[in-house]
Amino acid sequence: MHRIFNHFQKIGILKGLINQFISTRFLLFAYTFILYNSSFITSSLAQINLTNGEHSLELSGSVSSFYNQRFYYNQNPDNRINNDPKLPIDKSKNRFGLRDMQIQLEGRVGHDFEYELQVDFADMLNQSDVGENPGILDANFTWKGLKALNLTFGYQKILYSRNSLVPFTFSPYWQRAEVTRGEVFSRRDVGLTLSRSLWDQRINVYAGMYTGQGEQILSFNGGNNDPSGEFEYVGRVDFAYPTRFRYRDYDVNHSPVPMFQIGAAARTVTRMYSSFLPGDDYYLRVIAGRKDCYTADASFMWKGFSAQVEWHVLNIEPTNDLDPSGTRYRESRGTFATKIGTNPTKFFRAGGILATLSYSSKPIHSIFSIRYDQLNPNDLIMKNTEESLTFAYAYQIRGFNSMIKAQYSYRLIDRKNALIQRFDDQLRIGWQMLLR
Amino acid sequence: MKNVFLKSIWKGISQFSFPFLFIVFFCCCADAQKLKHYWKQKLRISEPSDICLNQTKDGFYIVSDDGLLFETDLEGKVKRKAVFHGFDFEGVFADQNGVYVMDERTRIVHTFSLSDLALKRSVEIPYTGGRNKGFESLTWNASKNQFLAFTEKDPTWIFELDQNFSVLNKQKLKGPSDISAAAFSKGKLFILSDEDHAIFRYNPETMEKEKKFKLDIINPEGLTFGPDGSLYVVSDDLGMLYRFDSKPLFE
């Protein structure tokens, strides 16, 4: 323990924490939590269901709020106000945040018809990060009348990455892994999904056709498709044993037998001209050109332990119509040595992996989790792979319905590499309340 | 480069994870007697959600998440099926007057005739809790001449009902994380919890928990006692019927 304490002292985390914890901001933070506690902890949080015997409508929602503390790497000029090394460190990321303010309506009519409407009011006002937090989360309906196939039509989650399919509220983390949080590929779109389950839902097969514009279809370009008129096509298959495996990452129920799931998916889209937001950080979410994505995943649960591994690769062939020099994909990377126009290859690759190991303890109502997370947004550029270890802890007051969550992101990278986007450690702690 | 990478990973793991894992293992503990099944049978019923002994004691009634009612023999082989198709059947109980089935989604108790499993009557029990957190079980408390209906979770309510399914009283149940099924035997109330993978024994007079028994099966959704007193449990996900020695339940 002494060694660990020394290490914390050396890297300044403990000192920083103490300073912050005795500050006015922390007192405000603590006070906010006490208010949360007193008003919600004793109440029942079940959602409301209305039914007329044929049509049942369920109303649910969620609220979550957090405090974010970033431990800045002082030598980086990007951390200074206006990127000016002479100015003080820009601490604008040390803040309270409202992550979720969601309302969800789910309905079932008869045996064959279901619908889902979900809105996040907190994100509707913040359009800077539509990939991870779009304002509209679901607006779709499903028809099961064909029996052999289910059809889901409307704005929906794309059945591609398993990690993306796990509802965020069932997680001790405050952020998804970099590769799956919506910057590298879109997580939602408008379109049609066909699905089929086999062998008591152990095997699931999905195929979908979408606009290819991702979340931006609702907010940019007037809802129009790309001038090419092309669509995005997505397919996924997964297999579970010995029984069906829901898209959940934590074994809170302590499965008495080992459970496994493996899955694979692919998607392809061709854009002629991307005149809309391509993503905040990596310019990868929607690109002008052809983009093929592949993923494979594996999950395991047993007696409270769980593990997931997910691998992603993107093969991207830009048209460069907007950017003949190819600088669009490296404008923030600081190098011009490997422009696409002069490189023998017409494509570049991006991708990453995430691996999570977790334990859920019922006696102490807790989830412990560690996640390794890697992303390389462009393989034509050397040394720009981002890596982090994230530690998460959740104390479940009432299961996932009322849960205190804390995560600490520890960056496993060369902090002097100017190509890296994220190298500051970050602590985020807060509370989520689900009305469900 | 590779060494630097591996070293940085090891540094992170060694200095953060070991204390983390130490706490985790310290908190692990076992707290209940474990029951092991000695017989099992795959059912030809998709997603079975509850089970009860029939009135002639030579078979079971089993309901499914698809809204179907079946009668089987004691080995789980389907003998007949009700024509009526509900939405999400989660509880079943039978006596000399009929078979009573609880539809979780619509909050309706359906009564079927014993002779041909025809629908005789449907009564709604109003409850506004979550669609999938509604009534999970229906059983009969002989000592009070009342039906008991249990909601699944958030919260777990016990509704006391008269023979016309009018609500007489309701109370919260403490103990299980959720409720999948309930049945009486030898004056004790046994409650099955899917999330806890366990059966809880209650004193029906005081509704106090007496003992907990862990199960070795996935997604247990229904329980009943056979004509010889054996414990039967159905697994929803696996579509399986399990038999257990019930003696430990009464010790």
B8 close to A (CB below 8 A): yes
Residue A384: per-residue pLDDT:
77
Q: Which residues in A254-401 belong to E strands, given as ranges?
A: 259-271, 289-302, 305-318, 348-361, 366-376, 386-398
Scanning every residue of chain A, which has its alpha carbon at the shortest distance from the alpha carbon of B128?
A: A49
Q: Angle A24-40/A13-21 helices, nearest 10 degrees? A: 70
The predicted structure's pLDDT at residue A383: 74
* Cα atoms in the Cβ-side hemisphere of radius 13 Å centred on B135: 31
ipTM attached to this prediction: 0.82
CB contact under 8 Å between B105 and A364, yes or no, is: no
B106: distance to nearest CA of chain A, Å?
5
What is the 3-class SS of A7-67, one letter each residue? HHHHHCHHHHHHHHHCCHHHHHHHHHHHHHHHHHCCCCCCCEEEECCCEEEEEEEEEEEEE
Are A140 and A154 a contacting pair, CB within 8 Å? yes
The pLDDT of residue A379 is 79
pLDDT at A419: 61
Q: Are residues A262 and A297 in contact, defined by beta-carbon separation less than 8 angstroms?
A: yes
CA atoms within 13 A on the CB side of A67: 15
User: Which pLDDT value is given to residue A322?
Assistant: 45
Q: From CA B140, how far away is CA B165, in angstroms rounded?
A: 11
Shortest CA distance from B105: residue in chain A: A56
H or E element that contains B29: none
Residue A396 has pLDDT above 60, yes or no: yes
Interface-testing mutation among A14, A51, A427, with chain B (most B C-beta atoms within 10 A)? A51
Who's near B66: CB < 8 A, 6+ residues apart? B46, B47, B85, B88, B89
CB contact under 8 A, B130 and A244: no
| Percent of chain A's residues with pLDDT above 70 | 76
The reported pLDDT for the residue numbered A288 is 78
Q: Quick one: pLDDT band at residue A367, thresholds 50, 70, 90?
A: very high
pLDDT for A18 beyond 70:
no
Which residue in the block uniquely carries the two structure tokens 């092309």? A230
Residue spans of alpha helices (H) in A41-146: 121-124
Lowest-confidence region among A70-74, A181-185, B15-19, B61-65:
B15-19
Residues of chain A neighbouring B21 (CB-CB closer than 8 A): 368
The mean pLDDT of B231-243, rounded to a whole number, is 95
CA distance A399 to chain B (A): 9
The answer to whether residue A279 scores a pLDDT higher than 60 is: no
**pLDDT for A318:** 78
CB within 8 Å: A256 and B218: yes
Question: What pLDDT sits at residue A11?
Answer: 46
Half-sphere exposure of B54 (CA within 13 A, CB side): 22
HSE-CB at A219 with a 13 A cutoff on CA atoms is: 22
pLDDT of B169 higher than 50: yes
Structure tokens at A94: 């040390």
Choose the most confident range, by mean pLDDT, from A76-80, B115-119, B153-157, B174-178: B115-119
Give the closest of B129, B177, B194 to A49, CB-based.
Answer: B129
B134 touches chain A (CB under 8 A): yes
Mean pLDDT of A65-84: 83
- The confidence band for A4, taking pLDDT boundaries of 50, 70 and 90, is very low
Distance, CA of A205 to CA of A188 (rounded, Å): 18
Q: Which residue of B has its CA nearest to A6?
A: B15
The Cα–Cα gap between B11 and A360 comes to 24
State the pLDDT confidence band at A334, using cuts at 50, 70 and 90: very low
Distance CA A230, CA A246 (A): 32
| More confident: A327 or A231 | A231
Alpha-carbon distances of A256 from A301, B36, B37, B248, rounded to whole Å: 9, 11, 13, 20
CB contact under 8 A, B24 and A359: yes
A204 touches chain B (CB under 8 A): no
Q: Do A49 and B155 touch (CB under 8 A)?
A: no
Confidence of residue A302 (pLDDT cuts 50, 70, 90): very high
Q: Does B9 touch chain A (CB under 8 A)?
A: yes
Question: Which distant-in-sequence residues (6+ apart) come within 8 Å of B120 by Cβ?
Answer: B98, B111, B112, B113
Q: B223: which residues sit within 8 A by CB, 6+ positions away? A: B51, B181, B182, B183, B190, B192, B199, B231, B232, B233, B234
Q: Which residues of B touch A243 (CB under 8 A)?
A: 218-219, 237-238
Q: Is the pLDDT of residue A313 over 90?
A: yes
| Cα atoms in the 13 Å half-sphere on the side-chain side of A313 | 8
Amino acid at A8: F
| Chain A residues closer than 8 Å to B5 by CB | 387, 412
Question: Coil, helix or strand for A201?
Answer: coil
**Residue of chain B with shortest Cα separation from A410:** B12
Q: What is the C-alpha separation between B173 and B156, in angstroms, rounded?
A: 6
Residue A274 confidence (pLDDT): 57
Out of A46, A256, A387, the one facing B216 most closely (by C-beta) is: A256
Those residues with Cβ within 8 angstroms of residue B20's Cβ, 6 or more apart along the chain or in another chain: A368, A370, A391
Task: Report the alpha-carbon distance of residue A332 to residue A324 in Å, rounded.
Answer: 17
Using a CB-CB cut-off of 8 Å, the residues of chain A touching B238 are: 200, 242-243
Q: A243, B195: Cβ pair inside 8 Å?
A: no
Instruction: Please name the residues between 243 and 262 in chain A that touch chain B, using a CB distance below 8 Å.
Output: 243-244, 252-257, 259
| Peptide bond preceding B19 in cis form (omega within 30 of 0) | no
Neighbours of B36 (CB within 10 A): 12
Classified as helix, coil or strand, A78 is: helix
| Chain mean pLDDT for chain A | 82
Inter-chain contact A47–B155, Cβ cutoff 8 Å?
Answer: no
Among A113-122, A189-198, A314-323, B131-140, which is the least confidently predicted range?
A: A314-323
- Do the beta carbons of residue A216 and residue A276 sit within 8 Å? yes
Cα dihedral angle (A16, A21, A22, A23), rounded to 10 degrees? 80
Whole-structure pTM value: 0.84
